[in-house]
Amino acid sequence: MKGRRFWVIAFLAFMTNGASLLGIGQGSAGSLARAIECNHNIAHNIETAKAQGLLAGNPPAKPKAAYFGPFSVDCSALQMCSVLA
């Protein structure tokens, strides 16, 4: 790497990490990524809290399928009366 390419890469490296190298941590690429992740987590937790708040006063839903029991087998329909007897 000579000349122009070196200076372009050096400039890009300084732009992404220069603030942290100079001691100004708020402007580094890592701190920006942490801030974005933190904002995402905060928004996700707010949405979860709102969803749980809406469900807090509602009773649980009843199952749509009714279960009848105890079950009995109609052996004449299965044609297996001799096996089940």
φ, ψ for residue 31 (rounded to 5)? -70, -35
Is residue 63 over pLDDT 70?
no
Segment 63-72 mean pLDDT: 65
Determine the straight-line distance between the first and last CA of the chain, rounded to whole angstroms.
89
Q: What is the pTM of this model?
A: 0.40
Q: Where is pLDDT greater, at 22 or 49?
A: 49
Backbone dihedral region of 67: left (phi > 0), alpha (psi from -120 to 50 degrees) or beta? beta
Across the range 11-33, mean pLDDT stands at: 74
Q: What are phi and psi of 55, to 5 degrees?
A: -85, -10
Given a contact cutoff of 8 angstroms between Cβ atoms, the answer to whether 56 and 64 are in contact is no
Task: Give the chain's domain count.
Answer: 1
Whole-number pLDDT of residue 81: 65
Q: Would you state the pLDDT for residue 43?
A: 94
Residue 15, domain extent:
4-74+76-84
